[in-house]
Structure 1
Amino acid sequence: MQQTTLKDGPITLMLIGGGSRCSSFIGALRAIEQKGLNVASVVGSSTGSIIAALYVAGMTTDELYAEALELDAGRFKDISPAAMLTGYGLCSGEALEQWLRERLEGKTFRTPGRCPLRIIATDILNYEPLLFSAETTPDLDIATAVRCSAGVPGVFACRRLNVAGRERVLVDGSLMAGLVEKQLERNEKTLVLKTVSKRTLHHGKSARFNLERYAHELLTYFIHGQEKEFVKGGKWKDTILIYCADISPARFSLSRQERIYLQEQGYEQTLQYLEYKWGI
């Protein structure tokens, strides 16, 4: 009886973090669809929010797969002196937001989708999570919410936004995703997807040090610090950790082979988890 409930009962799917390895979530979605899980809502944070938004907007896993193989993430490196001075980040994030707006065709949270979508951002001005949704921000462009959630401090400029008459300064949603997860699990059945890599990555040694390299190293330490805390105190019962070998989360560009590998790992590891842990 318990196994039937796990498969047929509604679940809230959370795509947390990812960095440049977010392609693995596409493979995970394929496995979830194959097993016939009843996904009642999707929550995304950081680059996981990109996959979450595109999927809820109606893109199939095949379309997401093709998009991930062809996308040159280097186009999002819109380095801007103004962003450094006013937003404290190497990149403005405008290129990412514009690309998302085109792919999402200007959809707002009010626009009907595959299921309800919620996006997590971190408000560093008020030190609290902000959960974008049809209930809280119905008329906001989903692209704007995702841009806020994917704003890794130091790499992308923080995004200033007025929400319900309150000034917000927003950065990466993964910083407070754990708090949102705890809030949601009180009333919802959650399944969390999160990527992890080896603790020690092979770095080429170089005496060359500039602002771009500084941002890259900052992003690497930032994401691995998050992963360490998550693994140390994570909720294992309903959490799928997708191991991504030694692929760095901080690289803007991945080879075609690496992107295929990530999607395969997401699919295989999620399928294995659902079969052995949930018995479906």
Structure 2
Amino acid sequence: MKGASDMRSPVALVLCGGGSGGAMEVGFYRAVRELGITVDFILGSSIGALNGACIAAGLPDAELAELWCAFRLRNGVSLNWAGLLTPGRCPGCFTFNPLRRRLHHVLPATRFEELRIPLHVVGTDLQLGTAVYWSGTGDLVEPVIASMTLPGLFPPVEIDGHQFVDGGIANNVPLDRAIELGARTVLMVSCACCELTSQPFQGALRILARSFSIALDRKFAAEFKNCGTSVRIHQVRPRFAHVIDLLDFGHTAGLIDAAYRQTIEYFNQPDTSEPAVDAPGTAAGASTVAFPPARTS
């Protein structure tokens, strides 16, 4: 079976964006920890930055799940009244101030140098038009908020004179960064939750959210297939019975449980039952494993 003995160090945990689907990262990491797999460093983009910060700071699994299950847009965000009162110049309709206060209250560590596991948070620099990576030292909460800041809905976060928005725009799946940092094993879970459906989508927000989910899902698949290295990748793509919008937080407990169960199932499979497959463009000996197998259409 796959497990701790199959992990070549350093082991990187790569947490991508996916809105409410980020709840699956909670169940995924709980399974990884229970299987005795040690993570050497974490990379988080968008909602993955939030989960990565909680994990790296040592927030217990149960408390992280509780944080997610209690989260609703109404208690995580607030209206940006100052912006709304300046029509035509409003940088965003909402702010993350309630979540910002919550993180300062619940996180065991609020600075990078205090974390139990090294963490790299992805942001998008509006001035430079590139991905940035916060790590090492300094404040933790503001980079996490910046990494989650969907442009248009939330105003950019200013850090050191630059404006930053959602890390998922520049690098939603920081697999390449994990490889640059020396990872030999990468643990990944897709939280785009982009299931097939015959149901029509109504309303501008739902259509936008579904479109963004499709983009995230395709980008995740592309990153996985074209890693171009000999790193060992363990990728779990949990299946869920419902189509979940990016901003639909009504299925959190089910998403956590589905990811947990399917991750345990993946790692309990004998290595011989699903041989590693070389991804296109990878070096000789490179191996990647996906469960369930990714769709190609």
TM range, normalised to the smaller chain?
Answer: 0.7 to 0.9
Question: 2:138 maps to what in 1?
Answer: 139
CA apart distance, 1:277: 7.7
Give distance in 2, aligned partners of 1:176 and 1:6: 31
1:229 aligns with 2:219: yes
Give distance in 1, aligned partners of 2:77 and 2:65: 22
Alignment deviations for residues 40-64 of structure 1 (CA, whole Å, 9 cap, x no partner): 0111111121111112111111222
> Contact between 1:18 and 1:249, CA under 8 Å: does it hold in 2?
no
1:102 aligns with 2:99: no
> Contact between 2:78 and 2:98, CA under 8 Å: does it hold in 1?
yes
Q: Secondary structure at the match of 2:149?
A: coil
Q: Secondary structure at the match of 1:39?
A: coil
> What's the Cα RMSD here?
2.9
CA apart distance, 1:17: 0.8
> Contact between 2:100 and 2:145, CA under 8 Å: does it hold in 1?
yes
> Contact between 1:83 and 1:92, CA under 8 Å: does it hold in 2?
no
Paired residue type of 2:164: L
Alignment deviations for residues 187-243 of structure 1 (CA, whole Å, 9 cap, x no partner): 21222222122144846646xxxxxxx555434422332222322453384332233
Question: 2:290 maps to what in 1?
Answer: none
Q: Secondary structure at the match of 2:113?
A: coil
Alignment deviations for residues 15-53 of structure 1 (CA, whole Å, 9 cap, x no partner): 101201222111111110122112001111111211111
> Contact between 1:155 and 1:215, CA under 8 Å: does it hold in 2?
no
Question: 2:279 maps to what in 1?
Answer: none
Give distance in 2, aligned partners of 1:173 and 1:269: 27
Alignment of 1:25-36 (within 5 A): 25-36=25-36
From 183, 189, 193, the equivalent of 1:193 is 189
Q: Secondary structure at the match of 1:37?
A: coil
Number of matched residues? 260
Paired residue type of 1:185: I
Q: What are the ranges of 5 or more consecutive residues in structure 1 without an aligned counterpart?
A: 207-213
From 264, 271, 274, the equivalent of 2:264 is 271
> Contact between 2:124 and 2:170, CA under 8 Å: does it hold in 1?
yes
Alignment deviations for residues 223-277 of structure 1 (CA, whole Å, 9 cap, x no partner): 33222232245338433223344342332541xxx22211111112222232338
CA apart distance, 1:74: 2.0
Question: 2:158 maps to what in 1?
Answer: 160
Give distance in 2, aligned partners of 1:277 and 1:13: 22
C-alpha change, 1:233 and 1:129, in structure 2 (3 Å) is: closer
CA apart distance, 1:155: 2.0
Give distance in 2, aligned partners of 1:61 and 1:105: 13
| Percent pairwise identity | 20
> Contact between 2:77 and 2:97, CA under 8 Å: does it hold in 1?
no
Give distance in 1, aligned partners of 2:198 and 2:244: 7
> Contact between 1:46 and 1:150, CA under 8 Å: does it hold in 2?
yes
C-alpha change, 1:235 and 1:5, in structure 2 (3 Å) is: farther
Question: 2:11 maps to what in 1?
Answer: 11
> Contact between 2:43 and 2:122, CA under 8 Å: does it hold in 1?
yes
C-alpha change, 1:233 and 1:14, in structure 2 (3 Å) is: closer
Give distance in 2, aligned partners of 1:127 and 1:172: 12
CA apart distance, 1:3: 7.3
Q: What are the ranges of 5 or more consecutive residues in structure 2 without an aligned counterpart?
A: 227-232, 273-297
Give distance in 2, aligned partners of 1:88 and 1:273: 43
Q: TM-score, normalised on structure 1?
A: 0.80
Paired residue type of 1:192: M
> Contact between 1:93 and 1:157, CA under 8 Å: does it hold in 2?
no
Alignment deviations for residues 122-157 of structure 1 (CA, whole Å, 9 cap, x no partner): 1122111111101xxx122x1111100111122222
C-alpha change, 1:87 and 1:10, in structure 2 (3 Å) is: farther
1:88 aligns with 2:91: yes
> Contact between 1:89 and 1:153, CA under 8 Å: does it hold in 2?
yes
C-alpha change, 1:30 and 1:106, in structure 2 (3 Å) is: closer
Give distance in 1, aligned partners of 2:4 and 2:209: 41
